Structure 1
């Protein structure tokens, strides 16, 4: 990585992965054709496209616009198992959608995916009358779904490890035979803003779901999605890296294309950076982070609602005055790698005293030094630790290509800052 001084840059993040991989299965289930504008082209979305093709929905990718032929609530039964690679949104969202397939569907992934639990989802689907089973060790993939329809009804769902299991059921629920009502086990849901994002995309395609007074979710039966033209905004999770680049190197970085009313979870990083000493400016279609000569301050912060941004913030903490504690992020251990363990190991290489607990990470800055950073085939590890190289000479990122999971052009953009 190349060190540099204060930044003065304007960038545009790629399309939101979270929105793209929600809009795709929704559009596939819709009645009529949908046009998706600004969709993210990356390894995760390619996994979704490949699997949808196997389910009978062949998406035509035409430059910046993708044409999705709606299947009117009925997916095909594939002849072979679906391979979701290491895409959590793909395997979870399509496990639920597969209940609407005309026959049995088996979904699988790579070696790491076979270590990521999915039984919380298959248990909920089975309780709603759609037989599904996680056939791997410890309730992990491969996953078998019987298909044939989603009867609906009431189910308790465990959202303590991943909000995606809740979003997955919601995406399929408008096509259930009866109303679907979900209660949250222990009244616990991690990363709730991502469920709110699911509800927003559902509404955009004509299906309503709502929070209940008891804190659960209700979806009325007999609804359907309607194909439409749909704009996908830039990815706030990706924007976290240029925002944090400004915090680390100083100067100014503006990310264009992010609406002022966006509800993407990782925009909550902006007030956190303000607490650390940055200045934030929002406009109708941009967000900007600035830092002058003032030092960064360590903070104590709950990042349960935006755990993906915790990696970039952990690297920012290397340059702060005083320790930083990132807490309530136990689900980082269930991502592309055990991110808490990986963060501890790689932050220590750079000179910090970093300690990971069951659901938290403490970073006490120390004299910084260059290091060879392992990425564990995790795109967010690669993108986050590359930021350290803006200030610290001798930082080398192993396997930077893994960033293609969500931002194929990331290192080119970073070099241009």
Structure 2
């Protein structure tokens, strides 16, 4: 296995231009593919997760030319395909719903970990309106076979929201393909709500305005997607968190460019974590800057709204003046790995005492130790644990190439703000 040794970092300062948001990129690609008209997309993320989406859309008959997507003007023209979607939940789950509405014979598979990530709540919602979805492995998980079926919207579509917000996102983006008004009702709590806000925002840009009643009911109009002509994908707010945290821990200032105070991404609220922990934060149009230098303050916070950036907060807890508690992060267990278990294991290697709860972590910092960090093929494990090098000890990151999922040039960008 490849590994990368990060030497101790004495201080941080500089600027980083962020890659495009993964969450926005894959939503834009799908809706541009389904819309009438051509869409010129700027700022699109070029990484593993967006490549598998583009490859799948190409197999479904969508044409690409440089930054331009030629929309199908409705359901996909190709009615039979086998698609491999890696470990990209933002590709496999929305495509499952869109292909059900298209009507055809499709097989959707992914990497081994993708076959361990649940999709049962989405499949149940689709079956509830007449879809014919077959599990090809374990019930409740990919791979899937989709068969033609008559979809009926006589009743509201119901979906559970307490495992992943991507199931609701998938339904909302797919339903306009039916040319009928529809209503989606969420059963129970809806987690990760800011990601649904991204979905609604991107749908609006493509001409479909969804009416939301609190977080329990969503009215989808009988409207087709229409290209906005041009659309810009802002920088990835989750990726911004690592550099902003480095500024807070290592003195800074560190500025990220490509995302700012007008961001549509929930993870921009990581700035609230930084401020609670004592960092100085400033924001403008298209940029955020963080600086620190003093001992960070311990944190006790519900981070359900920023589950990806919450991983950065967990590593920042190593530098706090007391125990920190991260709450309501149970969705970590069904991500690229079981992030709760993985985070607890790796933080302990660095000298922290960690109590792992069902949906929480309590992290008591200790004297930082040199460690070899396992990343579990999880890009965010690799990126968040790079911050440990700011503690004056060398850190070895196993399988650093896993960052190619969302940020292939991450370690080069991180080195650019670090001073030994």
Aligning the two structures, in what range does the TM-score lie when normalised by the shorter sequence? over 0.9
Deviation at 1:170?
Answer: 0.6
Contact 2:260 2:268 in 1 (8 A): no
Aligned position for 1:30: 35
TM-score (norm 2): 0.94
1:80-109 Cα deviation digits (max 9, x unpaired): 421011101110010011123351211111
CA distance in structure 1 between the aligned counterparts of 2:129 and 2:246, rounded to whole angstroms: 46
- Rate the CA distance shift 1:29–1:259 in 2: closer, same or farther, 3 A: same
> Displacement, 1:214?
7.5
Match of 1:179 in 2: 181
Take 1:392 and 1:48, find their aligned partners in 2: how far apart are those partners?
Answer: 40
Q: Secondary structure at the match of 1:81?
A: strand
| Structure 1 counterpart of 2:61, from 56, 66, 73 | 56
* Structure number with higher relative contact order (C-alpha < 8 Å, ≥ 6 residues apart): 2
Does residue 395 in structure 1 map to residue 400 in structure 2? no
8 A contact 2:237–2:268 mirrored in 1: yes
The answer to whether the 8 A contact 1:70-1:227 is kept is no
The C-alpha deviation readout for 1:122-164, integer Å capped at 9, x for no partner, is: 1111222333244431400012222467543412101101001
Q: 1:101 to 1:345 in 2, by over 3 A?
A: same
User: How far apart are residue 58 of structure 1 and its match?
Assistant: 2.9
- CA distance in structure 2 between the aligned counterparts of 1:56 and 1:148, rounded to whole angstroms: 21
Deviates further, 191-200 or 3-12: 3-12
Q: Structure 2 unaligned segments of length 5 or more: list them.
A: 1-5
Q: TM-score, normalised by structure 1?
A: 0.95
Q: What does residue 248 of structure 2 align with?
A: 247
Instruction: Work out whether residues 279 and 291 of structure 1, in 8 Å CA contact, stay in contact via their aligned partners in 2.
Output: yes
In 2, distance between residues paired with 1:138 and 1:118?
A: 9
**Map of 1:342 onto structure 2:** 342
The answer (yes or no) to whether the contact 2:101–2:175 under 8 Å persists in 1 is no
Report if the CA contact (8 A) 1:150-1:177 is conserved.
no
Task: Report the CA distance between 1:311 and its aligned residue.
Answer: 1.2
Structure 1 residues 103, 378: CA separation in 2 closer, same or farther (over 3 Å shift)?
same
SS at match of 1:36: strand
Indicate whether 1:120 and 2:121 are aligned. yes
Separation in structure 2 between the aligned mates of residue 107 and residue 339 of structure 1, nearest angstrom: 25
1:92/1:408 Cα in 2 relative to 1: closer, same or farther (>3 Å)?
A: same
SS of structure 2 residue aligned to 1:251? strand
- Partner Cα separation in structure 1 for residue 214 and residue 92 of structure 2: 30
CA apart distance, 1:334: 0.2
Note the C-alpha offset of 1:78: 5.5
User: How far off its partner does 1:79 sit?
Assistant: 4.4
Coordinate RMSD, CA, aligned:
1.5
**Closer/same/farther in 2, CA of residues 383 and 58 from structure 1, 3 Å limit:** same
Corresponding pairs, count:
411
